Amino acid sequence: MAESEAGKAPRGVRLVITLVGRTNAGKSSLLNAIAGQDVAIVSDFAGTTTDPVAKPYELLPLGPVTFYDTAGLDDTGQLGKLRMAATRKVLWRTDIAVVVADDSGLTDAERGIIADIRRLGIPFLVVFNKSDLAAPPEADLDWCRAENIRFARASAATGQGATAVKEALIALAPAEAVREPMLAGDLFGEGDTVVCVVPIDLAAPKGRLIVPQVQVLREILDGDATAVVVKERELEDALANLRRPPALVVTDSQVILKVSGDVPDDVPLTTFSTLFARFKGDLPILVAGAAAIDGLKDGDTVLMSEACSHHVQADDIGRVKLPRWISQYTGKDLRFEVHAGHDFPDDLERFALVVHCGSCMLGRMEMVRRIRECVRRGVPVTNYGVAISKVQGVLERVLRPVLR
């Protein structure tokens, strides 16, 4: 796949590889050496890279990835603190980290970021760059061996070691990145029919389908099954026209109540968001989080967490519909607070519940880390689709196909 093709892959399915290190350690030059082309700006001037810079790339056999080039760990001043905060936010969505040291070896800056990376559970590699100028300090190599840290020697200036770095990145890739991910392919067989219910309302993007719908349709085609796509109003007629019942019906969560009434109980039924909950996160934890809705009290604050920023519609699912449904279900006076994009609140403890979107624009590891952080801090977490099915009274049925 060409670099332009890698850039077309959905952001949420691309492996994220982040380069961190001190100013002028050669992070940008190393990235160029790995890619075999000038994808990052380099100069001898300290601090050339300020905000994290994303670069799509095709790293075979892993497929499309995104490299992040970040500011120096030793950036100074108030602006430097902000840049370092931005670097640490990138680590939240990182699948593999590359700690780049120059010919002076490992300092407190590198050891500090290694400690942060380890706390996040991110696979990582230490690259001793500029090996054409000097060999890495033997004490640092011994420390890496003692700490069971994978390392490589490289020279971004000469290209030496670039292949070894790529091979190490491939070896460090999480199992989810190596195996073919599956949304719904295990729920139907070759020759089966899968019905996808896609409502077209004000919130639907003009002229296209959303990522979960597209990915499920692609799995149906890849599985040599037949996809039938209808709006909720045409579902009953579509089912009547089929020669045999579908192997599965997948619907948008917003119309699950109507769809569950139209689909016979013996036909497996689930939602796109529920499929993404098991594809991108930990479905049992998200189901347990939905149960916490029953325990909400007057005055509780619920975090509505969105993975991407978007133009808010009059009846927005995360800001209007779902908060209204949860309030109606509980009968409680609740406060709802929305956080959008890659920012995840540091003060999670003040929320009685986190309700996350389907995370179609997040990588799996970032979503898993968000879930783990909620669990670690004792805050129940669920997602939009699971919460909707819960308050609509159909969660048990929606889970039946995917938790068997």
pLDDT digits (tens, 9 = 90+) for 141-200: 999 999 999 999 998 888 888 899 999 998 998 765 555 557 899 999 999 999 999 998
Please check whether residues 33 and 94 belong to one and the same domain.
yes
Residue 398 lies inside a defined structural domain of this protein: no
Distance from chain centroid for Cα 386? 18
pLDDT at 106 over 70: yes
- CA atoms of 135 and 128, how far apart (whole Å): 8
Among candidates 156, 101, 149, which has minimal Cα distance to 123? 149
> Last residue of some domain: 123, 155, 178?
178
pTM of the predicted structure, to 2 decimals: 0.68
**Single-letter code of the amino acid located at 339:** H
Q: What's the total number of domains in the chain?
A: 3
Please state the three-class secondary structure of 112-164 as a single string. HHHHHHHHHCCCEEEEECCCCCCCCCHHHHHHHHHCCCCEEECECCCCECHHH
Give the list of residues 6+ apart from residue 255 with CB closer than 8 angstroms, or none. Answer: 197, 199, 232
Q: Say which CATH number the domain at 366 has.
A: 3.40.50.11410
* Tens-digit pLDDT profile for residues 26-37: 888 898 888 775
Q: Is residue 250 part of a domain?
A: yes
Same domain assignment for residues 197 and 127: no
**227 three-class SS:** strand
Q: Which two tokens stand for residue 331?
A: 């009968």
Query: Would you call 319 helix, strand, or coil by DSSP?
Result: helix
Instruction: Identify whether 402 is part of a domain.
Output: no
Q: What is the CATH number of the domain that holds 249?
A: 3.40.50.11420
The answer on 384 and 295 residing in a single domain is yes
Within this chain, do residues 45 and 172 fall inside the same structural domain, yes or no?
Answer: yes
31: tokens are 């990235």
How confident is the model over 213-219, as a mean pLDDT? 93
**Whether residue 46 has pLDDT greater than 60:** no
- Domain presence at residue 372: yes
Q: Among 356, 17, 11, which residue's Cα sits nearest to residue 174?
A: 17
Whether the per-residue pLDDT at 113 is higher than 50: the answer is yes
> Are 169 and 52 part of one and the same domain?
yes
Domain membership of residue 123 (yes or no) is yes
Q: 139 and 20, same structural domain?
A: yes
On whether both 8 and 111 belong to a single domain, the answer is yes
Confirm whether 397 is domain-assigned.
Answer: no
Confidence of residue 77 (pLDDT cuts 50, 70, 90): low
Q: Does the pLDDT value for residue 5 go beyond 50?
A: no
- pLDDT at 51 exceeding the cut of 70: no
Domain membership of residue 366 (yes or no) is yes
What per-residue confidence (pLDDT) applies to 115?
A: 94
DSSP per-residue letters across 83-113: HHHHHHHHHHT-SEEEEEE-TT---HHHHHH
pLDDT > 70: what percent of the chain? 85
Single out the residue in 151, 178, 205 at which a domain terminates.
178
- Rounded distance between C-alpha atoms, residue 134 and residue 101, angstroms: 12
Q: Which residue has the tokens 């292949």?
A: 163
- Domain shared by 94 and 221, yes or no: no
Least confident residue range of 63-67, 105-109, 398-402: 63-67
Pair (154, 9) in one structural domain? yes
Looking at the fold, whether 225 and 268 belong to one and the same domain comes out as yes
Cβ-proximal residues to 342 (8 Å cutoff; 6+ apart), any chain:
89, 92, 93, 307, 366
* pLDDT value of position 204: 61
Residues spanned by the domain of 323:
283-391
> Both 263 and 315 in a single domain?
no
Do 106 and 45 reside in the same domain of the chain? yes
What CATH number does residue 88 fall under?
3.40.50.300
**pLDDT band with cut points at 50, 70 and 90 for residue 235:** very high
Q: Write down which residue in 275, 300, 322 finishes a domain.
A: 275
Task: Give domain status of residue 404, yes or no.
Answer: no
CB contact at 8 A, 67 and 17:
yes
> What's the mean per-residue pLDDT of the chain?
85
Burial call 290-314: b when 16+ CB within 10 Å, e when fewer: bebbeebeeebebbbbbbeeeeeee
Alpha-carbon gap, residue 249 to 235, rounded angstroms: 10
Summarize pLDDT for 289-330 with one digit per residue, the tens: 999 999 999 999 999 998 875 555 656 888 899 999 999 999
One DSSP character per residue, 346-396 reads S-GGG-SEEEE---TTS-HHHHHHHHHHHHHTT--EEEHHHHHHHHTT-HH
